[in-house]
Chain A
């Protein structure tokens, strides 16, 4: 035990450096952006679906919404390079933390490696959350709590501030495979798992990303844009399903839509019309 505890942290593989995201996974969602109403294959609850159907992109024009960064539950799938640095205790030379910084809106996070506990439940929540890490073999495992109410897709699929995230950073040569697993008792029926790749760069590169809000649309005080239930805008999955010729049940998402059984059962919408 003593020798294990004294093993210097630097014996672990080095994950620090400047990385570019590799965009071949879910490129359509991540670069151009997802369609509204596309929840296919996502393990969302009825509550999450209702929330997303009510969501209006105009919400982002409110001054108090303009400078929100991506939460850590989305940022690793966004654009912008990722810089990972280590924080070293000058006495012991041990790594006490890693910091991650994603360029867009300066998503800065500290991953504590010194064994500290997570804060009490009445402590504030942040966009990036409170993260602690540990090594499992050559895999850095990170647990994040104290997240603000964020999102995991840019079309109104939200998370509550009860969400938790577990990540794995797996380095193969000059590539990091990032895996996250998000749990939210309110909006996810089972953990949402996504992977993304990052390619190590030769040059360290990061630029600042300041943000200050402006009044984009004059509105009455306290007005919050949203789609009222029963309106056409509150059923975006119908349009999405028609556009892509998939059953609307598939577009509406839910854990069952992620499995092969659902794919076999569901026929293309065009093929079903004659059967009615």
Chain B
């Protein structure tokens, strides 16, 4: 497959022009002016994309392991976020792609499980690098059916290649294409097939798949991927049972958005019997779960949120709240001293999310 050299100015120009033209004419033609402006800006920014800025982590000793969940769904673990794949007669659909350095191992395992069926779609649950890092390689290993109104895809993707489509919420594309720090990944890694409304429907491998936006939760671009026939939800990082949630405030996340997302999952899941089995939920990180596990997580988040809100409304400072140890009962299971989702940061972000707003500055002026 021919990969265009993004260092070549002519190639970059062709990519940008094609993408912008297409965005105006076709898939994004119904987008608001704001969305269109964002897209143009995002497109222009790829002129700076000269290569993957991903950290070089060593994945040599990490194996990809997989487990059949039910129906057409498998769960894959390795390094980074959990991967969900759906296998059927139409091919393979992949939800999240871990890191670039894991991509070859993921592709090998996907091929082993599917018997070499083509990867048609990648869906990103959100923008974080441990969930989208393998996008480029896995998309390139795949093949989409290019005809009809999909034909435009081929023009700007890989200059003759025919990769899998990459789907995400619009806000995830914006954050991948314009990272707060560092260079964006190559254009081929971007989820350019986006939606900006509350849900997107697909039908693939004989089952309905619903992509459900969870506003301002872990980030501002989280989606649940609900495989209705297989009865499995791939939840991304709005549901993690390995640690406290990482409320990425800088990327639009909020505690109340995560709690709302957990309640949405509980609405969608139906236990088979005695609050067990039935709908399975693949978390962004951690082990395979069902509704009861999400209920435990929702209860934990709600109770901690309520405690911190109670203290904040009594006028306690963040330091006072931390000293009160409002997470003591859950720290052993979900807490961490350092790293993403660490306890201190979690408490701080919950506090900032629930504390009463500071009185407006001009109130004091009026009183004077």
Q: B-contacting residues of A (Cβ < 8 Å)?
A: 45-48, 50-51, 54, 59, 64-69, 105-106, 120-127, 148-149, 160-162, 185-187, 211, 221-224, 226, 228-229
Q: How far is the CA of A105 from the CA of B310 in the complex (A)?
A: 37
Q: How far is the CA of A55 from the CA of B296 in the complex (A)?
A: 13
Smallest CB separation, A13 vs chain B (Å): 31
Q: How far is the CA of A125 from the CA of B275 in the complex (A)?
A: 12
State whether A120 touches B65 (Cβ < 8 A): yes
State whether A124 touches B289 (Cβ < 8 A): yes
State whether A122 touches B77 (Cβ < 8 A): yes
Residues of A within 8 A of B302 (CB): 222-224
State whether A68 touches B275 (Cβ < 8 A): yes
State whether A121 touches B287 (Cβ < 8 A): yes
Nearest CB in chain B to that of A46: its residue: B328
State whether A222 touches B310 (Cβ < 8 A): no
State whether A126 touches B332 (Cβ < 8 A): no
Smallest CB separation, A51 vs chain B (Å): 4
State whether A125 touches B75 (Cβ < 8 A): no
State whether B324 touches A47 (Cβ < 8 A): no
Given contacts A120-B65, A125-B293, A148-B293, contact A68 B303 (CB under 8 A): no
Q: Can you list, as one digit per residue, whether each of B286-305 has a CB less than 8 Å from chain A (1) or not (0)?
A: 11111111011011001100
Q: How far is the CA of A65 from the CA of B298 in the complex (A)?
A: 12
State whether A68 touches B274 (Cβ < 8 A): yes
State whether A45 touches B332 (Cβ < 8 A): yes
Q: How far is the CA of A233 from the CA of B331 in the complex (A)?
A: 22
Residue pairs across A and B with Cβ atoms less than 8 A apart, 24 shown, are: A47-B330, A54-B329, A59-B299, A64-B291, A64-B292, A65-B275, A66-B275, A67-B273, A67-B274, A69-B276, A121-B287, A122-B77, A122-B82, A124-B290, A126-B276, A148-B293, A148-B296, A161-B333, A222-B259, A222-B263, A224-B299, A224-B306, A228-B307, A228-B310
Smallest CB separation, A146 vs chain B (Å): 9
Number of B positions contacting A (CB below 8 A): 40
State whether A125 touches B303 (Cβ < 8 A): no
Smallest CB separation, B275 vs chain A (Å): 5
Smallest CB separation, B94 vs chain A (Å): 17
Residues of A within 8 A of B116 (CB): none
Q: Can you list, as one digit per residue, whether each of B65-97 has a CB less than 8 Å from chain A (1) or not (0)?
A: 101000000010100001000000000000000
A-B contact count (CB 8 A): 104
Q: Quick check: is B44 within 8 A (CB to CB) of the other chain?
A: no
State whether B288 touches A122 (Cβ < 8 A): yes
State whether A123 touches B287 (Cβ < 8 A): yes
Residues of A within 8 A of B290 (CB): 124
Nearest CB in chain A to that of B329: its residue: A51
- 10 nearest CB pairs, A to B: A186-B332, A51-B329, A224-B302, A50-B329, A160-B333, A124-B288, A222-B263, A122-B287, A68-B275, A69-B274
Residues of B within 8 A of A68 (CB): 274-275, 292
Residues of A within 8 A of B291 (CB): 64
State whether A67 touches B332 (Cβ < 8 A): no
Residues of A within 8 A of B299 (CB): 59, 224, 226
State whether A123 touches B67 (Cβ < 8 A): yes
Q: How far is the CA of A224 from the CA of B260 in the complex (A)?
A: 13
Q: How far is the CA of A137 from the CA of B5 in the complex (A)?
A: 71
Residues of B within 8 A of A127 (CB): 274-276, 292
Smallest CB separation, A213 vs chain B (Å): 9
Q: Quick check: is B356 within 8 A (CB to CB) of the other chain?
A: no
Residues of B within 8 A of A105 (CB): 274
Given contacts A47-B332, A228-B307, contact A67 B275 (CB under 8 A): yes
Residues of A within 8 A of B266 (CB): 64
Residues of A within 8 A of B333 (CB): 149, 160-162, 186
Q: How far is the CA of A47 from the CA of B259 in the complex (A)?
A: 22
